[in-house]
Chains A and B, each alone.
Chain A
Amino acid sequence: MLLPFAGLFLGFLIWPLLNALYFAFTDFNGVTPPSWTGLDNFRRLWFEDPRFRTALVNSLIYVTCTVTLSTVASLALAVAFRGTSWRDRVLRTIFFLPSVTSTIAVMLIWRWIFSGERFGLANTVLSWFGADPVSWLSTPRWTVPLLVIMAVWGGCGYGMVIFVSGLNAIPDELYEAARLDGATDWQQFRHITLPQLKPVTTYVVITGLIGAFQVFEAVYIVFRGVSSVGGVQDGGLMLVPYLYDLGFTRFQLGYASAIAWTLFLIIFVISMIQLRVTRALREW
């Protein structure tokens, strides 16, 4: 019974992972056989590669902003629309829609919104106030903020649904007791809702964090038409697009594998820290 699953699991998950780990220690261009180089790829990556540092810093800023804003927005939406009325259901559906819409379609719309031409939606709005059009996508300082806006808009609906189920699982007795003791709405939220939502919050933060570190489509679709992968002056270069660029544009598959494993280690370590902190807070 387990054999088909085991075969697929080994063939499509374990084997590629181990293969990538092996390639990370080789010089491999994809066509000629790989040659063993030991830790060279990792040494170059961590100590000699300014583009990797750019990608890492951009990714950390993007992840921090996206996860924080998404989590706060998701929770706010969940608290606002947690009920069973038609209004709440309709609004929950509207906010959840981006999560089930084709990413490519959504990104193409964002590209139109932030088009540098006068017909771009953002520039049209600016023109109402007499402002000159802005080259949103080819101005490096705008790149990460735009990516954060896109991610928060697209991701908060999913977080909202998770938070709504978490909110509905909190026993009403806790709120009734608090109200009898004279607790205000804010005190109830601060001392009942938030502590009760810790497991859900942990889940939303960790899955959001993993997703944010792996951002690719937004950078690739929105900024690729503007400049090379990562946008103008690498303003939006993130780890996965950089991995793609090196692996599939520059044929450095060994080096790209080293980036992939580095990304895995970063996500693993941050997730472990997050879990430990959450556990400590719960025990406290």
Chain B
Amino acid sequence: MHRRSLAAVAAAMLLAAGCTTTGTSTAPQEDAEGPAELLFWNTGSDEQAAAVQVAADRYKELHPNVTIRVQAIAWDDGHAKVLTAATSRSGPDIISGGLSWGIEFGELGGMVDLNGFDLGQAKQQTRPELWNSITSPGGAVYGIPMDMTLYVFYYRPDLLQKAGVSAPPATWAELFTAVDRLKASGVATPLVEEWGTFEWLPWFNYLKQAGGSLYSEDCTQVTINSEQAVLATTTWADQYRRYGVPKATVDVGAGLAKGEYAMAIGASYLAGGFDSGQPELRGKWQTAALPTGPAGAGSFVGGKIVGAMSYTKHPRAAAEFVKWLYTDEAVEILQREVFTRGGELYISPRPELLAKANASDNLKQTLQTTLNSVTGPPNCKGWETSGSEVSRRLQAVVNDNADPRTALAEAAAVMQGNLG
């Protein structure tokens, strides 16, 4: 009797566990107006989730049969949580997350290709560089941009003036001259970086400013081992080796407030926290576009995508809400609520609405200028796996004095292998 019961329990567990890998989905309900109850995992803070919930509640007023519940998931484990949801085919209907997550999870079969839901308007309203980043090599769009993060040059005008620097540096040469002068004037760490510090992200800015690229336009060739990339790598490495830029992430706001730092190359999201986190910094900081290189301006653009999970029972309702987030009304709600609840700046993927953002004129001007020269992460096959490998080779140039050409050749070999 006992043996039989044990066998029954084991068989039930085997069956249950088997379902986690094979998975079956119910036939999707195709009515955009519902009835549908959707769960939305928004990667980010609780305040951001609360802001999105306000937008979702407004959507419900317009579409009474569609209820959307927004939950916050942290950046730290969001990636693993979404993978678990995709594996078990249970969890949220909609997710937002890193710009590259759409292609990652979509190519695994975890997300809906939104091309089937008329994305024409959204595509038209998004910068082509950003749209290209979220489009898979095969043309599928598993998630559309929800917000953008740009690189901004932050600085303390008073400290620059004290050091004899009259304007924010506009070129690489001016940047490093300013570092020397600030150091001489007593600023302990004239320049810091934040957002992917000591990783490939800030290096990518130099790569674009030097005129280089990671892959060819059609993703058939790796181009990281170019002369432009060597110049970018040497300059990026010199930041740390000659100009004392910290290799670890620092608290930019606190450092600027104390006058320990005078300039920072950092993410646009930092701007929202300066005045609230460091009241003594109010009115003392300004922004500018990143200094240009020999090939002109250029910087990385990141942000979040939002898309529907492949197992959702309501793909059309989910897709319609995702598209609605592009409307003027939704963007205005998010701009207002994200700022009100968390003091953060929400940058919509629709650049023409930037003027309505809660930011100073100087910051808006900086963002507008930066938007004209941004490039998103590559959508080429294998980049997700290659990114950290590239970082390791770049770090070796700084830490081990590795030859930039050798380091980039090694990175190119890894990228080519992952490209297939």
Binding site for B on A (CB under 8 A): 2-3, 6-7, 10-11, 15, 19, 28-34, 115-118, 135, 137-140, 224-228, 232-234, 248-251
Contact = CB atoms under 8 A, between A and B. Distances in A.
A146 B10 CA distance: 45
B265 to A, nearest CB: 17
Contacts of A232: 198, 247, 395, 399
Contacts of B76: 224
A116 B250 contact: yes
Contacts of A15: 13-14, 17
Interface stretch (B43-51, B65-73, B350-358, B385-393): B385-393
A179 B286 CA distance: 78
Given A118-B188, A234-B392, A34 B10 contact: no
Q: Is the interface of A mostly helix, strand, loop or mixed?
A: loop
Contacts of A249: 79-80
Contacts of A227: 198-199, 391, 395
Contact of A6 (B9, B83, B399): B9
A250 B384 contact: yes
A138 B87 contact: no
Contacts of A33: 21-22
8 contacts: A3-B6, A15-B17, A31-B105, A31-B109, A117-B248, A226-B197, A228-B388, A232-B198
B394 to A, nearest CB: 10
Contacts of B246: 116-117, 135
A10 B248 contact: no
B118 interface: no
A32 B248 contact: no
Contact of A117 (B2, B86, B250, B392): B250
B248 A116 contact: yes
Given A15-B17, A31-B109, A135 B247 contact: yes
Contact of B83 (A28, A135, A233, A248): A248
B283 to A, nearest CB: 24
B277 to A, nearest CB: 15
A30 B391 contact: no
Interface in B1-49: 2, 5-6, 9-10, 13-14, 17, 21-22
A248 B80 contact: yes
**3 tightest Cβ-Cβ pairs between the two chains A and B:** A116-B248, A138-B247, A248-B80
B219 interface: no
Contacts of A225: 249
Contacts of A115: 248
Contact of B247 (A19, A116, A228): A116
B81 to A, nearest CB: 9
B110 interface: yes
A248 B78 CA distance: 10
Given A29-B108, A31-B108, A226-B197, 7 more contacts: A11-B9, A11-B13, A117-B246, A135-B246, A227-B199, A233-B395, A248-B80
Given A137-B248, A233-B392, A251-B108, A2 B2 contact: yes
B260 interface: yes
Contacts of A19: 17
A226 B198 CA distance: 8
B251 A228 contact: no
Nearest to B109: A31
A149 to B, nearest CB: 18
A6 B109 CA distance: 36
B119 interface: no
A118 B260 contact: yes
A117 to B, nearest CB: 5
Contacts of B2: 2-3
Contact of A32 (B108, B250, B392): B108
B397 to A, nearest CB: 11
Contacts of A226: 197-198, 248-249
A7 B16 CA distance: 13
Given A118-B188, A139-B399, A3 B21 contact: no
Interface-central residue, A2, A29, A32, A251, by most chain B CB under 10 Å: A251
A177 B22 CA distance: 70
Contacts of B249: 225-226
Nearest to B104: A251
B396 interface: yes
A19 B20 CA distance: 11
A226 B391 CA distance: 12
